[in-house]
Structure 1
Amino acid sequence: MKIFDDKHIKNVVFVGAHQSGKTTLSETMLFEAGLINRRGTVENKNTVSDYHEIEHDRGTSVFATPLHTEWRNYKINIIDTPGLDDFVGEIISSIRVADTILTVINAQHGVEVGTEIIWNYIDKYQKPTVFVVNQMDHLNANFEMSFRSIKNLVGNNAVLIQYPHRIDGAQCIIDVLKMKCYKFGPEGGKPEKLPIPEDQKERADMLHNELVEKAAENDEGLMELFFEKGTLNEDEMRMGIKAGMLNHELFPVFCVSALKDMGSGRLMGFIDNVAPAAADLKQEQSVEGKTIERKKEAPTALFVFKTVFQPSLGQITFFKVKSGEVKVNDKLVNSRNGETEVLNQLFIMDGKNRETVNKLTVGDIGASLKLKHTETNDTLHTDKAPVTIRPIQYPASRTRMAVNAKNKQEEEKLSDALKKIHSQDPTVVIEYSGELRQLILGCQGELHLATIDWSLKNNYGIEVEFEAPKIAYRETIQRSSTASYRHKKQSGGAGQFAEVHLKIEPWKEGMAEPQGFNIRGKEEIDLPWGGKLVFYNCITGGVIDLRFLPSIRKGIIEVMESGPLTGSFIRDVRVMVYDGKMHPVDSNDIAFKIAGAHAFKEAFLNASPKLLEPVQEVTVRVPEETVGSVMTDLQSRRSIIQGIDSIDHFQILKCAVPEAELHRYSTDLRSLTQGKATFSTVFSSFKAVPKHIQQDLVGSHDK
């Protein structure tokens, strides 16, 4: 296969809302370039990019799929991404390695919620972006509405390169960069090139002049030429458009019908000779603060942006060459774990099809098989030039579920499978909660959860059950209490004897030392689950030997690890051990541990114990038209609204919500707002559970 340099490699990522036509457009571009002889369709389950069994089952893209084609001496790497934000991890990782983003808009709907969400990530990474209004052949297509929605999204820097027009019923495209009219037959394909019709000349001239001005704005030299000549030629306009795209200040807008193959060839031509190449992008800084040299002579550095498991092949690792060149049998070091990987095979991937190559150069995208120690987000480098590419920051989980294997003997197998799924998709978060005794799975939504379930069943042979995670409650007290306990056991020979008298009080930061005690020692213990135990030695007269105090404390902590109300952790208590008795023969550590535990438990139950629940600080970004419904729903979840701000047409609600009320909130919020709202959560504090809820929880625990 021909090796292209980074000036002739274009990495283009297709993004857009669900059913905007990204997969169809990528299929058409492969057909136009001659890579495939026949175009497949999503309905017939025979497209190059949607090849996974789960995608055939669901009729929609689930994975980002790398493809490639060649067009007029350029190599175009295409990554076709899913349109549903449940799979946002696939979208973000693809955006991260893109040179240009191609945002596909459904001409029937304009900019949709999914596009708005994706745009936030494009804007964050400041990637050059082209908008493509697709399905212009559809009876309900509305190009003008679609263009207005693009301008509402990105502002006046959205500029038309093309707009649709009909001549005697035939679909045409007016191109204001080339100032030509492309007329298509009923089945699309290669168009007839015509002069711009007389009735469109005025509009085309106006749009051409607007494009000239926008192009000139992005380069001082071009601006001087514009003032000197009053216009720019086509080559000069291309330079200005590219500069504007690189500055993230100009967004060209095209129109196509991917299904009818109308306009895709012209779009590919624009990608070839205008859209930024790998060599045009700004230099990156490594985690170590060094500039990553984008030269083929530089030391090799690969960034792994995607891994995928195929039953027939194992793990496929996709990477972008950030520096240098990579050759077959190269040995590279993983910067995360120090492990050396041997790249025995190098491929260019087109869906499930592999094309073997001997090397790949800087700026290119490729794949390898059976790397043992490498995951998504890793950097591979030469041993003499260590470097770490800045990792992708993935969004926090929006849905959390407890998961367990239906067959209890497969629990270890389930854990291993979930670790592999996480290594491929970092938005799948796995943690075992020893406190809750549950394996907790975090993901992006119900559909994401369903695909994980599918993968566990079909790829790993594990049937699982999902349930709501338990809540990590805490127990504490509201007043002081005293108690004593005598432990006496005689069973022939040496017995057990210990007596402990203690007082407990609620603890809070900065409180005064306890009164009425002769304090001889104090320990402040930061509990692993939060809060404190403050333990005082107030023994006088030697009634309990000092060597038994650690055992008393150990017994207290064992009770605190499983509180008497609900079995939850106890926190924020101080204990004064002030009296007791011991026996010269029968007293030992075990006896005092038991006596201390029983005395503490009795005192705790007599100190007005209360249950605390974790409260999350929730920020909801909601469109103005649905803010009332969202606030009503939040109030039903025992939330406290702490503030409301406005940004554009959105309201930003900040509120405190008990964690117990947030189960399935992601699904409910989508339903209330047609998917237009987003939210984030962060732990805030523990607050007292309302009395009636505490009674129910204690009652359930007693059963």
Structure 2
Amino acid sequence: MKIYDDKHIKNVVFVGAHNSGKTTLAETMLFEAGLINRRGTVEGKNTVADYHEIEHEKGNSVFATPLHTEWRNYKINIIDTPGLDDYIGEIISSIRVADTIVTVLNGQYGVEVGTEIIWNYINKYHKPTVFVINQIDHPGLNFENSFKSITSLVGNNAVKIQYPLIVDGAQCIIDVLKMKMYKFSSEGGKPQKLSIPDDQKETANVLHNELVEKAAENDEELMELFFEKGTLSEDEMRKGIKAGMLNYDLFPVFCMSALNDMGSGRLMGFIDNVAPSAGDLKSEQSVEGKEIIPEKDKTPVLFVFKTVHQPNLGQITFFKVKSGEVKVNDKLVNQRNGEMEVLNQLFIMDGKERNPVQKLTVGDIGATLKLKYTETNDTLSSQDSQLTVKPIQYPQTRIRRAVFAENSKDEEKLSDALKKIRSQDPTVEITFSNESRQMILACQGELHLNTIDWLLKNIYGVDARFERPKISFRETIQRAAASNYRHKKQSGGSGQFAEVHLKIEPWKEGMPEPEGFNIRGKEEVDLPWGGKLVFYNCIVGGVIDQRYLPSIMKGILEVMEEGPLTGSYIRDVRVMVYDGKMHSVDSNDISFKIAGAHAFKEAFLNANPKLLEPTLNLTVKVPEDMVGNVMTELQTRRAIIQGIESSDHHQILKCIAPEAALYGFSTDLRSQTKGRATFKTQFNGYQAVPPNIQNELVNKKELVK
């Protein structure tokens, strides 16, 4: 396979809403370049990009798929991405390594919710972007509305390169950069290049002049030429368009029918001649604050943006060469863990097809097999380089489920499978809650969860069950209470005897020391689950030997690990042990531990105990016209709105909400707002559960007993 330099490598990612035609466009471009003999279709389940069994079953892209094509001495690396934001991790990873974003729109609908969500990430990275209005030959096409929706998204920096036209019943495209009309047969393919019809010349000239002005605005030399000549040549315009794209000040708009192969060749030509390459982009700053220079004679730096686990191959690692060159059998160090990796094989990937190569140069995208210590977001470079590419920041998870193996014998198998899924998809989080004794899976939504379930069953052979996670409640007290307990047991020989008198009170930071006690010692315990136990030794006259006090505290801590209300952890209590009795023969550590536990439990139940629930800081960004419904939804979930801010035709609602009441919120919010609202959460603290809910939870615990 031919090796291209960084000036002749173009990395583009196709993004867009579901059913906009990204996979079809990728297939058509491979066909146009002669890399495949016939075009597959999504419906026919035979495209190069959508090759996974799950994609055939669901009828849409689930994974980002790297491909490549070659067009007029340029190599175009294409990454075809899913259109559903449940798979946002695949989209973000692809945007991160692309040099140019191709945003595909369904010409019937223009910018859709999915487009808006993806645009937020394009905007974050400031990547050069081309818009493609697809399906121009569909009866429902509304080109002008689609273009207006682009300007609503990016402003007046969107500029038409093309617009569609029907001439004598044939589909045509007017190109105002080349000032030509392309006329297509019903089969598509290579068009006739014709002069622009007389009735379109005025419109085309207006658009051409707008394009000239936009191109000139981005380069001082071009601006001088424009003032001098009143126009620019096609080559000068290309230079200005590229500069505008790099400055994030110009967004070219094309049109096509990917399905019927109308306009794809022209888009490929534009990507070749105009779209920025890796060598055109600014150097990146490493985590260490050093410059990663994209030149082939520099030390090799590889950034891993995707990991795939395939049963027959093992781990496939996808990377972009950020600097230098990499060759087969090169040894590079993982900058995260210091482990050495050997690149025994290098590939250019086209879907599931692997094309071996001997080396890859800066700017290129490739893959290797069976790395032992490397995951997504890792950097591989030479041992002395100490260059780490800044990692991809993935969005917060939106739903959580407890996951169990249907067959208890498969628990270890389930755990191993989830680790591989997490390795492949960093937007999945797997944790184990010691408190609830549950494995918790967090992901992006119900569709994402269904995909994980499918992978567990069909790839890893594990039947899993998903349930609502247990909420980590806490128990505490609202007033002081005293209690005493005598533990006495005689069963032949030495027996057990201990008597403990204690008083408990609610604890809070900065409160004065307890009154009425002769305090002999104090121990503060920072509890692993939050809050404190403050334990006072107030024993006078040696009625309990000092050596038994640790046992009393141990008994109290055991009760605190499983509170009497709901079995939840107890927090924020102080205990004063002030009296008791012991026996010279029968008293021992276990006796005082038991007596301390019983005395504490009895006092706790008499101290007006209350249940605390975890609350979250909840921020919801919702379109202005949907605020009312969302606020009603929040109120039904016991959320307290703290403030409202405005931002870009959206309202940002800042709330505090109980974690228990937010179960299913992601799904309901998406349904109510058609996916246009987003939210994020952060742990806030613990607040008292309303009395009616506390009673329900306590009664439920009693029924379990």
TM-score, with length taken from structure 2: 0.99
In the TM superposition, what are the counterparts of 1:264-279 in structure 2 within 5 Å?
A: 264-279=264-279
Aligned residue in 2 for 1:42? 42
Aligned residue in 1 for 2:216? 216
Q: Distance in 2 between matches of 1:481 and 1:498?
A: 20
Aligned residue in 1 for 2:195? 195
In the TM superposition, what whole-angstrom CA distance separates every residue of 1:531-575 from its partner, at most 9, and x where no partner exists?
A: 111111111112222222111111111111110000000011111
| Consecutive unaligned residues in structure 2, runs of 5 or more | none
Aligned residue in 2 for 1:96? 96
Aligned residue in 2 for 1:329? 329
Q: Distance in 2 between matches of 1:530 and 1:246?
A: 50
Aligned residue in 2 for 1:256? 256
Aligned residue in 2 for 1:472? 472
Aligned residue in 2 for 1:394? 394
Aligned residue in 2 for 1:455? 455
Q: Post-superposition shift, 1:697?
A: 0.5
Q: Distance in 1 between matches of 2:686 and 2:68?
A: 53
In the TM superposition, what whole-angstrom CA distance separates every residue of 1:117-153 from its partner, at most 9, and x where no partner exists?
A: 0000000001000000000110001110000000000
Q: Distance in 2 between matches of 1:489 and 1:286?
A: 69
Q: Distance in 2 between matches of 1:648 and 1:126?
A: 18
Q: Post-superposition shift, 1:625?
A: 2.0
Counting matched residue pairs gives 703
Q: Post-superposition shift, 1:624?
A: 1.9
In the TM superposition, what are the counterparts of 1:109-148 in structure 2 within 5 Å?
A: 109-148=109-148
For 2:28, give the aligned amino acid.
T
Q: Distance in 2 between matches of 1:341 and 1:586?
A: 65
For 1:192, give the aligned amino acid.
Q
In the TM superposition, what are the counterparts of 1:77-92 in structure 2 within 5 Å?
A: 77-92=77-92
For 1:561, give the aligned amino acid.
E
For 1:227, give the aligned amino acid.
F
In the TM superposition, what whole-angstrom CA distance separates every residue of 1:326-374 from its partner, at most 9, and x where no partner exists?
A: 1111111212222222111110000011111011111100011111221
Q: Distance in 2 between matches of 1:537 and 1:390?
A: 53
Aligned residue in 2 for 1:506? 506
Q: Post-superposition shift, 1:222?
A: 1.4
SS at match of 2:439: strand
Q: Distance in 2 between matches of 1:645 and 1:214?
A: 34
Q: Distance in 2 between matches of 1:579 and 1:338?
A: 59
Q: Does 1:552 align with 2:559?
A: no
For 1:319, give the aligned amino acid.
F
SS at match of 1:696: helix
Aligned residue in 1 for 2:579? 579
Aligned residue in 2 for 1:494? 494
Q: Does 1:604 align with 2:611?
A: no
Aligned residue in 2 for 1:663? 663
Q: Post-superposition shift, 1:170?
A: 1.1
Q: Post-superposition shift, 1:417?
A: 0.7
Q: Distance in 1 between matches of 2:330 and 2:547?
A: 63
Q: Post-superposition shift, 1:618?
A: 1.0
Q: Distance in 1 between matches of 2:583 and 2:232?
A: 103
In the TM superposition, what whole-angstrom CA distance separates every residue of 1:449-492 from its partner, at most 9, and x where no partner exists?
A: 01100100011100010010010000000100001111122222
Q: Distance in 2 between matches of 1:570 and 1:101?
A: 53
In the TM superposition, what whole-angstrom CA distance separates every residue of 1:286-335 from its partner, at most 9, and x where no partner exists?
A: 11111112121111111110011222222211100111111111111212
In the TM superposition, what whole-angstrom CA distance separates every residue of 1:18-37 from its partner, at most 9, and x where no partner exists?
A: 00000000000001111111
Q: Distance in 2 between matches of 1:332 and 1:495?
A: 68
Aligned residue in 2 for 1:166? 166
Q: Post-superposition shift, 1:166?
A: 1.4
Q: Distance in 2 between matches of 1:408 and 1:220?
A: 70
In the TM superposition, what whole-angstrom CA distance separates every residue of 1:38-97 from its partner, at most 9, and x where no partner exists?
A: 000000000000000000000000000000011111110000000000000000000000
Q: Distance in 2 between matches of 1:396 and 1:555?
A: 40
Q: Distance in 2 between matches of 1:292 and 1:271?
A: 25
Aligned residue in 1 for 2:60? 60
Q: Distance in 2 between matches of 1:410 and 1:351?
A: 32
Aligned residue in 1 for 2:350? 350
Structure 1, 621-630 or 201-210: larger mean CA deviation: 621-630
Q: Distance in 2 between matches of 1:642 and 1:384?
A: 51
For 2:527, give the aligned amino acid.
L
Aligned residue in 1 for 2:407? 407
Structure 1, 190-199 or 620-629: larger mean CA deviation: 620-629
Q: Distance in 2 between matches of 1:599 and 1:461?
A: 51
Q: Post-superposition shift, 1:493?
A: 2.2
In the TM superposition, what are the counterparts of 1:614-633 in structure 2 within 5 Å?
A: 614-633=614-633
Structure 1, 650-659 or 254-263: larger mean CA deviation: 650-659
Q: Distance in 2 between matches of 1:244 and 1:579?
A: 82
Q: Distance in 2 between matches of 1:298 and 1:648?
A: 43
Q: Post-superposition shift, 1:648?
A: 2.3
Aligned residue in 2 for 1:542? 542
Aligned residue in 2 for 1:419? 419
SS at match of 1:155: helix
Q: Distance in 2 between matches of 1:176 and 1:537?
A: 88
SS at match of 1:44: coil
For 2:207, give the aligned amino acid.
L
Aligned residue in 2 for 1:204? 204
Aligned residue in 1 for 2:301? 301
In the TM superposition, what whole-angstrom CA distance separates every residue of 1:363-408 from its partner, at most 9, and x where no partner exists?
A: 1000111112211111111223232111111111101100000000
Q: Distance in 2 between matches of 1:541 and 1:301?
A: 73
Query: Identity, % of aligned pairs?
Result: 77
Aligned residue in 2 for 1:177? 177
SS at match of 2:554: helix
Q: Distance in 1 between matches of 2:585 and 2:288?
A: 64
For 2:374, give the aligned amino acid.
T
Q: Distance in 2 between matches of 1:179 and 1:562?
A: 78
In the TM superposition, what whole-angstrom CA distance separates every residue of 1:598-643 from its partner, at most 9, and x where no partner exists?
A: 1110100000000011111111111122221111111111111111
Aligned residue in 2 for 1:431? 431
Q: Distance in 2 between matches of 1:688 and 1:64?
A: 45
Q: Distance in 1 between matches of 2:493 and 2:380?
A: 68
